[in-house]
C-alpha cells in the first residue's frame, strides 16, 4: 500500500477513534451528573450504549495498528 494512502487511512481511523471516545466521555459525564442529582434512571440511560462505543473505539484502534503494521516483515 502506498505510504501516503496508508497514513491517510491511519489518520481517518485515529480521528474516528478520538470522536468516538469524546462521545463516550460526554455520555459518562452526563451519567455522572445525573447520578449526583439523584436521577438513577437518567444516569443509567445516559450510560447505555457506552459498551458499544467502547467496542467501536477498540476496533478503530486495532485498525490503525493493523494498517501501521501492514507491509512489515
Question: Which of 33-37, 38-42, 62-66, 68-72 has the weakest average pLDDT?
Answer: 68-72
Whether 6 contacts 67, CB under 8 Å: yes
Say how far residue 34 (Cα) sits from the centre of its chain: 22
- The answer to the question of residue 35 being in a domain is yes
Task: List, for residues 6-27, the tens digit of each pLDDT value.
Answer: 999 999 999 999 999 999 999 9
Tell which residue, 67, 71, 51, 70, has the closest CA to residue 12: 67
Q: What nine digits make up the cell of 37? A: 442529582
Mean of all residue pLDDT scores within the chain: 96
- The answer to the question of residue 54 being in a domain is yes
Task: List, for residues 43-52, the tens digit of each pLDDT value.
Answer: 999 999 999 9
pTM, whole model, 2 decimals?
0.89
Which structural domain, as residue segments, surrounds residue 18? Answer: 3-68
- The answer to the question of residue 57 being in a domain is yes
Whether 64 contacts 17, CB under 8 Å: yes
- The answer to the question of residue 73 being in a domain is no
For position 1, what pLDDT does the model report?
Answer: 75
- The answer to the question of residue 48 being in a domain is yes
Q: Structural domain tally of the chain? A: 1
Amino acid at each position: 500500500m502506498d505510504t501516503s494512502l496508508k497514513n491517510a487511512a491511519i489518520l481517518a481511523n485515529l480521528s474516528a477513534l478520538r470522536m468516538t471516545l469524546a462521545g463516550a466521555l460526554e455520555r459518562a459525564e452526563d451519567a455522572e451528573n445525573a447520578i449526583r442529582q439523584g436521577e438513577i434512571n437518567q444516569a443509567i440511560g445516559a450510560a447505555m450504549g457506552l459498551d458499544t462505543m467502547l467496542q467501536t473505539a477498540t476496533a478503530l484502534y486495532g485498525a490503525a495498528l493493523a494498517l501501521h503494521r501492514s507491509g512489515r516483515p
